[in-house]
């Protein structure tokens, strides 16, 4: 049973606690399952385990975390990224605006493809390096403060005496029932029932009052709004306990709900697959920074919170670092373009290093 994220089971997987199962196969497959919701968290064959280690060590520089702390890791990364940014900007300036001063005169008939297109290639590689480095640095800055999203869970104490109707007597379609939990919403208690219609492949959620045994409507949206009042205080003051009081009236009255909806599929624009949790309730507020909360009511967790600042960083990382602008062409084309761009930068860097060493 895994209760904390690790170098192999990272925060990006979101779910905790999970059970880790290692199979006696040729690929030493590791499977992580969250039994609470019967969901597959992730699975890692040996090849992916090796990739995760390489990525964590050489891309995220996790080894600095291991010997020091996150702040030193971010500072070190930003230092090197600054050097890369300076190199990329100087390349654009030289190839774009000062080319005549640096270009060496050579006979036209002796120029090969690379020499003939040296300026164009230089501008393209410099621009790609700039976008990769800028989006990476911007993303790293967002990691400066510890992420407390995993702590955003509402777990009040529920006494057995508060539940009047036993779960076995719940007014629910038992043939479709997949999961059942109890929530405390202000002073009321509900059985939260997840139902699945196998014939129509459709999920449904019902809330049954534990005192009246009646199914009540609109509970999910109202419960999500209630949870926002709890989590918003924790985001401002991470040391506060969201379960310490049932008073939800302390929420900023100027923070008015603009729209609400239930998401059953990931939204590539803002709430993508990286967030893992579904279904969630999306609550969009008309605050100064257009804050939107995504609440997973089935576990009473905050799945994500997005505002103007995080949106800008998210778009920067998605477009310039992950090439999601090419998503229209399909994943394979996007991956190819990302690899092609990265290899281009790598090759130019190696060739530049070789020329530098030769001159020395």
Structure tokens at 142: 């967002």
Q: Does residue 3 lie in a domain region?
A: no
Assess whether 170 and 305 both reside in one domain. yes
Q: How many CB atoms lie within 10 A of CB 316?
A: 18
User: Left if phi > 0, otherwise alpha if psi is -120 to 50, otherwise beta: which for 28?
Assistant: left
Q: Does residue 292 lie in a domain region?
A: yes
Q: Which of 142, 158, 183 is the last residue before a domain boundary?
A: 142
CA distance 317 to 278: 23
Tens-of-pLDDT digits for all 360 residues of the chain? Answer: 999 998 899 989 999 999 999 999 999 999 999 988 788 999 999 999 999 999 999 999 988 988 888 899 999 999 999 999 999 999 899 888 877 776 665 555 556 666 667 778 888 999 999 999 999 999 999 888 888 888 889 988 899 999 999 999 999 999 999 889 999 988 899 999 999 888 888 888 999 999 999 999 989 999 999 999 889 887 877 666 666 555 544 445 456 889 999 998 888 778 988 899 988 999 999 888 889 999 999 889 999 999 998 899 888 988 888 888 888 888 899 899 999 999 989 998 898 889 888 876
Assess whether 71 and 190 both reside in one domain. no
Q: Which pTM was predicted?
A: 0.83
Q: Does residue 317 lie in a domain region?
A: no
How many separate domains does the chain show? 4
CA distance 223 to 136: 37
Assess whether 176 and 292 both reside in one domain. yes
Q: Does residue 129 lie in a domain region?
A: yes
The confidence score (pLDDT) of residue 150 equals 83
Assess whether 132 and 168 both reside in one domain. no
Assess whether 351 and 267 both reside in one domain. no
Assess whether 170 and 28 both reside in one domain. no
Q: Locate tokens 């621009």: which residue?
A: 127
Q: Locate tokens 């009236």: which residue?
A: 249
| Domain limits for position 195 | 149-312
Q: Locate tokens 């992916």: which residue?
A: 48
Q: Does residue 216 lie in a domain region?
A: yes
Q: Does residue 5 lie in a domain region?
A: no
Assess whether 174 and 282 both reside in one domain. yes
Phi–psi pair at 193, nearest 5 degrees: -110, 120
Q: Which of 39, 59, 79 is the last residue before a domain boundary?
A: 59
Q: Locate tokens 């480095």: which residue?
A: 133
Assess whether 41 and 77 both reside in one domain. no
Task: Specify which residues 333 forms β-bridges with.
Answer: none
3-class DSSP string for the chain = CECCCCCCCCHHHCCCCEEEEECCCCCCCEEEEECCCCEEEEEECHHHHHHHHHHHHHHCCHHHHHHCCHHHHHHHHHHHHHHHHHHHHHHHHHHHHCHHHHCCCCCHHHCCHHHHCHHHHHHHHHHHHHHHHHHHHHHHHHCCCCCCHHHCECCCCCCHHHCCCCHHHCCCCCCCEEEEEEEEECCEEEEEEEEEECCCCEEEEEEEECCCCCEECCHHHHHHHHHHHHHHHHHHCCCCCCCCCCCCCCCCCCCCEEEEEEECCCCCCCCCHHHCCCCEEEEEECCCCCCEEEEECCCCEEEEEECHHHHHHHHHHHHHHCCHHHHHHCHHHHHHHHHHHHHHHHHHHHHHHHHHHHHC
Structure tokens at 71: 């702040």
The confidence score (pLDDT) of residue 331 equals 86
Assess whether 219 and 295 both reside in one domain. yes
Assess whether 172 and 196 both reside in one domain. yes
Q: Does residue 181 lie in a domain region?
A: yes
The confidence score (pLDDT) of residue 26 equals 95
Q: Which of 312, 334, 350 is the last residue before a domain boundary?
A: 312
Assess whether 52 and 70 both reside in one domain. no
Q: Are 292 and 306 in contact (CB under 8 A)?
A: yes
The confidence score (pLDDT) of residue 102 equals 65
Q: Does residue 318 lie in a domain region?
A: no
Assess whether 207 and 78 both reside in one domain. no
């Amino acid at each position: 049973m895994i209760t904390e994220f690790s170098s192999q089971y990272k925060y990006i997987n979101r779910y905790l606690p999970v059970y880790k199962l290692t199979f006696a196969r040729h690929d030493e497959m590791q499977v992580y399952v969250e039994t609470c919701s019967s969901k597959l968290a992730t699975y890692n064959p040996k090849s992916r385990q090796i990739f995760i280690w390489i990525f964590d060590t050489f891309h995220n520089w996790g080894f600095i975390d291991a010997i020091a702390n996150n702040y030193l890791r971010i500072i070190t990364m930003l230092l090197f990224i600054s050097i890369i940014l300076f190199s990329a900007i100087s390349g654009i300036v030289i190839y774009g605006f000062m080319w005549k001063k640096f270009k060496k005169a050579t006979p036209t008939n002796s120029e090969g493809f690379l020499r003939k297109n040296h300026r164009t290639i230089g501008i393209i590689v410099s621009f790609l390096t700039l976008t990769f480095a800028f989006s990476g640095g911007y993303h790293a800055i967002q990691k400066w403060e510890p992420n407390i999203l995993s702590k955003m869970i509402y777990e009040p104490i529920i006494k057995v005496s508060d539940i009047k109707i036993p779960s076995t007597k719940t007014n629910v379609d038992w043939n479709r029932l997949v999961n059942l939990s109890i929530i405390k919403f202000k002073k009321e208690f509900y059985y939260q029932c997840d139902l699945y219609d196998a014939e129509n492949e459709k999920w449904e959620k019902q809330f049954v009052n534990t005192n009246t045994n009646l199914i009540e409507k609109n509970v999910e949206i109202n419960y999500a709004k209630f949870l926002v009042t709890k989590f918003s205080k924790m985001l401002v003051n991470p040391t506060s306990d969201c379960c310490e009081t049932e008073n939800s009236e302390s929420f900023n009255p100027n923070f008015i709900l603009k729209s609400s909806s239930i998401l059953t599929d990931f939204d590539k624009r803002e709430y993508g697959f990286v967030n893992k949790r579904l279904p969630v309730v999306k609550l969009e507020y008309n605050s100064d920074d257009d804050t939107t909360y995504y609440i997973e009511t089935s576990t009473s967790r905050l799945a994500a919170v997005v505002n103007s600042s995080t949106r800008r960083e998210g778009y920067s990382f998605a477009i310039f670092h992950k090439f999601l602008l090419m998503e229209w062409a399909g994943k394979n084309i996007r991956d190819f373009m990302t690899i092609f761009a990265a290899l281009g930068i790598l090759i130019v860097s190696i060739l530049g290093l070789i020329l530098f060493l030769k001159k020395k």
